Structure 1
Amino acid sequence: MNDSNCDDDSYYQFDEAGALLSTSLPLPLPRQCGKVRDVYDMGDQLLIVSTDRISAFDYILPSGIPAKGKLLTAMSEFWFDKLKVRHHLRSTEIPAELSSEFDTSPLVGRSMVVEKAKVVPFECVVRGYLEGSGLKEYQSTGQICGNKLPDGLVQCDKLPEPIFTPATKAVEGHDENVSIGRMIADLGSELALQLREMSLQIYRTALQYAQTQGILIADTKFEFGIVDDQVILVDEVLTPDSSRFWAADSYQPGQAQPSFDKQFVREWLSQCGWDKQSDPPKLPADVIDQTAAKYAEAYEQITGKAFAG
């Protein structure tokens, strides 16, 4: 698995298409670099910068998707406001003390100042439709993460009820789908069951709204943290990076659905001859453009607002 260039001497690294690939801000405290986000410690809070990096098949690609980080930030802000649950977002404004020290213009629209939290080491995945790794497990065992499902379901079928299918958070490689029993063993029954109920409730609320906008949320993942013994929603929420969005008017079970995410990227990488073992190739311009358009379409249809980029 490769990693992003988090040790660049300049503050910002862009690719030839103008996508922001990494940041190296002159902040005094350590930071972390994830697949998409650079996280800086600012004392009692964190600065999360959403870059334009895109990953596929557990690799961070050398090409970014211009303005993707701004879209993820804007969509997360939209959902944090709509869901009305406690969350970590304090502001999307650049802290004044940073603006007085260096050029922060590349951070505009892609930064979140958030409350510090002790992050729960599980992805809280909710599935309302049968696709992805859930489909593979169902076809093999008739269940997903211990959730027994009816016989005869086909690809992309709507499940009788949304199900909670947690996953461990892998530092490298794939996350591992686990049962609620594993979560209870690691976290205790009270916290594990609370996370399950919160995840299912947030998913149902989001699904109900998204359907009014012509979007089906097939599945999504949430992350939670603990602050003052209270569970809060952290990280991003209900974005094309963390969710499978389908157009309701073209939904047809029994086959793969066109989705508002990195579908074009995955398809091109699968067909270009890359062995998925070595460093990935750069993306062609048309794949970058199509992916950016799909992300923007998802944002605009869900929020009802134009995405300026």
Structure 2
Amino acid sequence: VGGTGLTLQMTQDGNITYALTDLTQTDVEEYYQGFANRVLWPICHYRLDLAEYARKEMTGYFRVNRFFAHRLAPLIEPDDIIWVHDYHLIPLAAELRQMGLKNRIGFFLHIPWPPADVVLAMPVHEEIMRGLSSYDLLGFQTDYDLENFAGCLKREGMGIEKSPGHFSAHGHDFRGGAYSIGIETAGFAEFARKAASHSMVQKVRQSIEGRDLILGVDRLDYSKGITQRIDAFERFITNNPAHQRSITYLQITPKSRSEVPEYEAMQNAVAEQAGRVNGAIGTVDWVPIRYINRSISRPILA
């Protein structure tokens, strides 16, 4: 952040070459902190109440995607396949097409895609849908997300589904599919096996003194349901006093996007909520909720 963006920095890691470019502080504020995370993120998570639309941030979002396209285009060979990831880069294919690139371009969305009634509340929904329609293959995580996308096209007459998973919109034919993603379970299981003897894991086991452990690991975000979980835990203990002192709830929640006001407010709210519950139902020898607001390494979490 803060550079001129006039030069690309090329770095090599094994057989992967990375091309890095700077963004200005204004770019970051309007593109990332603004439209991407104060409009697209809440709307895609059905939180219209948290979406805050500003024209300059919308302009910044499309401007930065245009900038990325101009930085990327000289690096692309005619037979390259381009794979774009997530909501920050929805307009990228459309920008590359404007520059005359004919390459096959795929896109995968790592967050939900809501139904038409939610999407259409976004002032620039047509531009976003046009951006998605510029790809050759759209990947969603669930069939429901794919159905919602198809519904958005039909609702506004922007396109049609010619056959299951085959669409035509804005003069372009493309495919869409649901491709569920997960983790490498074998590798994670190996982490868990090795972590069993780690000093931190041993300390946690000793500290809970044989109690059952409820573990939550989430980035601090309103889409994760952290406050609702704390509420549910408090109600369970209150309604089932026999379980008091027999269960500990450990919530590990690294800070996220603290520069966005909604996230800063949530950080304070979750900490206050955990403290209130501990004060209400805890005892001198039992802290019901352990709330950690920092990262724990993946091998230890396993």
TM-score, normalising length: structure 2: 0.24
Larger Rg over CA atoms: 2
Q: Which has the higher contact order (CA 8 A, sep 6+)?
A: 1
Structure with the higher fraction of residues in helix conformation:
2
TM-score, normalising length: structure 1: 0.24
